[in-house]
Amino acid sequence: MWLRDYLPKDAPNARILTWGYQSNLQADESTSILADFTNTFFQRLIYMREGAKCESRPIIFIGHSLGCLVIKKALTDVTSKGLNSHRLPVRAIIFLGAPHNGLASDSYKILETLVKGRVTQQLVTELKTDSPTLRDLSARFIPIAKEIEILTCYETMETKTVVQENGVWKREGEPMMMVAPSSAVMHGPTEKKIASSMDHSQLAKVKKGENGIYPDIKSIIRTALLSNAKIVATNESSPQDLHGNPKQRSKPEQSTKHDPETAFSSPTETLPSDRPIEVLPHDSEMVRALKSANVEMLKELCKNPRNLVMLDQDGYPPVCVAARFGLDNGLKTMLAAGASLTCSNREGEDPLILATDHQRRDTVATLLEHGAFVNVRGGVDDASALHYAVDRGDEDILRLLLENHADPNLLDSYDDSPLMCASRNGNIEAVELLLQYNADVNEAAQATPLMMAAEYGHADICKKLLQSGAYINTAQQPDGETALYLAARYGHADAAEVLLQYGADPYATTQSGFTHLMIASEYGHLDVVNVLADYIDVTQTTDPYLPTALMLAAKYGHAEVCQQLLDYNVDINATQEPDGETALTLAAQYGHTQALIVLLNDEDDFCGNFPAGPYDMMPLMHAAMNGYSDVVQALLQVFNSPEESDANGWTALCYAAWFGHVEVAQQLLNAQADVEHETVNGDRPLHLAAKEGKIPLINLLLSYGANSSPSLLQLKKWDGLCFDDDVSYPTQQKVIGVLRLHEKLNNTRRSLKFWK
């Protein structure tokens, strides 16, 4: 295990703490990985740091798969947990196969592989591609991500799914892509992206070999530790900032003061020609000469042409090393000796890109003076130097590149232009500079710069782009999302207001028919709902086959939005064809008690208790099926109708019995639910619980007088009961034993009564 075998040697002063969530979740336990696990992780993290008396140490998070989402939510929930932000001084995050935008196509099968168990609909909904939960999490994480060094490692190979044989999970199923690169990459300004020739499972089993990702992991950890050392040494850290000021962040190569606790420190000789750089044990003679600024030694080594092209252990030729560290004198010496500027490291980054990425302004100037190609592209994103300058927020280098005729309209592999990146990052100075050099304000290979600015909530940039001729109602393909739609989707009321003031169509819809009001309600963005209400008729609906804004707010539990929409007099009893679902049905189905209470308490209109869905299920049945006891209680207080059944003759108690929700079943029985109700197929609640192996539910129903005779199922003995395939043999025997014992006791009682 690399956390045990490699990292302690490379970071001897680091405290390595591990935390894992239960990977074999079963049935109703697999509900909400973010809500359930983040609280546990958060409290455990604080406890470990306080117990080890290391609260002041920087944090470097390493997450794999669903654990990455737990890290993101923990960081976005810091203030809501009542903690001062400086309690979590995060310097870096390493994401290994993070499903930022959801899992790949068959999310159910993928989740079954990840948690090795039966998966609930709520878990599928929460982690599906482009789910509202993940989109909201990403929107809230974006401001934090700008201040943290992030390494993103993503898989390029399919992973074998799991299948269950005789109760044992085996990784022998059909191979699938668990997390697509488009989901694993965030496109953050400080994000470094690494593609790995591994599957999702292997990604966490980091290899130290030449083609592995461990060198990159070690590098970002080194960067974070040395950056923290300089912050501590110069007293520049601010307790008011969660992750420190990004402008205080320094590269490890620039650090001249080393904390004794820092793992990667190594004193080097200081010479006037170049700044001192850490010399590592594995460095070649050429690199040692460069880092120690030993000009005479470097000149001697340059006489051998092979030394000029030899890669170091990290895959860098000497010229790239000099560019990366800003070693201008060494760079000039090698160029004078005939070194080429067309070389690159293993990731395809040439000297100009490396110097730009590491913000070496003087080195960039030196390279351009010596004929470096200003429009060179490289790296995993096939990005230009302008892209790197924009992502780093370095206006000096950006201006220098533009003055040397860099093309502002080159696209990277994600079809992003530098202007799009600047608009996304919220860098108004970079936007203005790029526009001065004729950047295309309407570039739209995928999204326009205006869409980027709207999506990330940069109202000032939206205004600047519109003043520069940006098309306001351009729709992003294939979904037809406009800039206003994106502002509504991510909850940016200020940006939405600017767009509406400049003439954005407030009634525009996506290809699927979604309006801005619908998407704002789905995400719970109350401010955006109120902004839109000034420009549209909120009560107007479009397609009866689409949910209304109120339905979406109820479905995703946004009680405040539900209340506001009701105040705008939307129809509380509107139904969605073809199944007739209402806002109340959806609130009950997804367990959102507060939203449901808002609907039930509406004073202006009656909230109808209507059946919905292909089986005509009542709201109470949905709540019982999913085990939402608070919702069940609220519905019983208003309607008190536990005896109602659906098209298959199932009552709420039948659903609670089938899924094993003891607390809900108890509530229903207390409300006089019929323990002997018979479904269309002749099953009773006891039979349904028995077939699913729900022993606690069986005992509860028996205590309320359920008939335990097998003859009710046309059986002579309980041995003939047909169990669900997922019920193990030992559980089947326990169920049969419980039913036999109860039947025997009943027979004994009847005999005693007869003889009396």
pLDDT digits (tens, 9 = 90+) for 274-296: 455 778 888 889 999 998 899 89
Distance CA 107, CA 111 (A): 6
Tokens 């004193």 locate to: 267
Q: Each residue of 389-416: pLDDT tens digit? A: 999 899 999 999 999 999 999 999 888 9
Contact 121, 31 (CB under 8 A): no
Reported confidence tier of residue 271, pLDDT bands at 50, 70, 90? very low
Helix axes 729-755 and 695-703, enclosed angle (nearest 10)? 20
Tokens coding 270: 């200081």
Q: Which residues of 681-695 are buried (b: 16+ CB within 10 A; e: fewer)?
A: eebbbbbbbbbbbbb
Between 417 and 609, residue with greater pLDDT: 417
| DSSP code, position 438 | T
User: By three-state DSSP, how is residue 401 classified?
Assistant: helix
Is the preceding omega at residue 276 within 30 degrees of 0, hence cis?
no
Q: Is the pLDDT of residue 473 over 90?
A: yes
- The per-residue pLDDT of the chain, averaged, comes to 82
Residue range(s) of every CATH 3.40.50.1820 domain in the chain: 21-212
pLDDT-based confidence at residue 4 (cuts at 50, 70, 90): low
Q: How confident is the model over 167-177, as a mean pLDDT?
A: 72
**Average of pLDDT values for 243-267?**
31
pLDDT the model gives residue 107: 53
Tokens of 267: 């004193």
Mapping DSSP to helix (H, G, I), strand (E, B) and coil, where does residue 182 land? helix
Q: Could you tell me whether strands 149-155 and 168-170 are parallel, antiparallel, or unpaired per DSSP bridges?
A: unpaired
Which residues sit opposite 360 in a β-bridge? none
179-225 confidence digits (pLDDT tens):
888 788 877 767 888 877 778 877 777 765 545 677 778 777 776 76
Provide the pLDDT for residue 190. Answer: 73
What is the CB-side half-sphere exposure of residue 380 using CA atoms within 13 A?
14
Give the CA distances from residue 467 to residues 88, 141, 655, in Å, rounded to whole numbers and listed in that order.
41, 29, 58
Q: Which region, left, alpha or beta, applies to residue 469 given φ > 0 means left and ψ of -120 to 50 means alpha? A: left
- What pLDDT was estimated at residue 194? 80
**61 membership: H or E segment, kind and range:** strand 59-64
Q: What is the CA radius of gyration of the chain?
A: 31
Helix runs in 116-265, H state only? 121-127, 132-145, 181-184, 200-203, 214-234
Closest CA to 213 of 391, 64, 9: 64
Task: Tell me: cis bond preceding 215? Omega within 30 of 0 counts.
Answer: no
Structure tokens at 390: 């924009």
β pairing state of 90-96 and 149-155: parallel
CB 37 within 8 A of CB 77: no
Rounded to 10 degrees, the C-alpha dihedral 525/119/155/20 comes to 90
pLDDT average, residue stretch 493-501: 98
Residue 249 has a pLDDT of: 27
pLDDT value at residue 210: 44
CA distance 587 to 597: 9
Contacts of 420 (CB under 8 A, 6+ apart): 443, 447, 448, 449, 452
Where would I find the H helices in 337-458?
A: 351-357, 361-369, 385-392, 395-403, 418-425, 428-436, 449-455
For a pLDDT cut of 90, what percent of the chain falls above it?
47
93-144 confidence digits (pLDDT tens) = 999 988 888 876 655 556 555 555 555 666 667 777 767 788 878 877 877 7
- The predicted pLDDT at position 262 comes to 30
Please tell me the predicted confidence (pLDDT) of residue 108.
54
Question: Which of 106, 519, 152 minimizes the C-alpha distance to 528?
Answer: 519
b/e per residue, 326-336, with b = 16+ CB within 10 A? bbbbbbbbbbe
Confirm whether pTM is higher than 0.75.
no
CA distance 326 to 357: 11
**What tokens appear for 723 in the block?**
């169990």
Task: With cut-offs at 50, 70 and 90, classify the pLDDT of residue 240.
Answer: very low
CB 155 within 8 A of CB 97: yes
* Angle of the 361-369 helix axis to the 318-325 helix axis, nearest 10: 140
Is beta strand 90-96 parallel, antiparallel or unpaired with respect to 163-165? unpaired
Query: Residue 189: phi, psi to the nearest 5?
Result: -65, -25
Alpha helices by DSSP H, 160-284:
181-184, 200-203, 214-234
| pLDDT tens digits along 50-75 | 655 555 677 888 988 888 888 888 88
Q: Between the ranges 21-35, 116-130, 594-608, 673-687, where is the mean pLDDT highest?
A: 673-687
Q: Please give the distance of CA 631 from its chain centroid, rounded to a whole number.
A: 28
Tokens of 398: 């950006």
- In this structure, the chain runs to a length of 756
**Numbered ranges of CATH 1.25.40.20 in the chain:** 267-407
pLDDT higher than 70, residue 350: yes
Say whether domain 267-407 belongs to CATH 1.10.10.10.
no
Number of other CB atoms surrounding residue 667 within 10 Å: 23
Q: How confident is the model at residue 363 (pLDDT cuts 50, 70, 90)?
A: very high
Q: Per-residue confidence at 24, pLDDT binned at 50, 70, 90?
A: very low
Looking at residue 595, its pLDDT comes to 95
Strands 59-64 and 149-155: unpaired
The CATH number of domain 21-212 is 3.40.50.1820: yes
- Distance (Å, rounded) from C-alpha 519 to C-alpha 509? 10
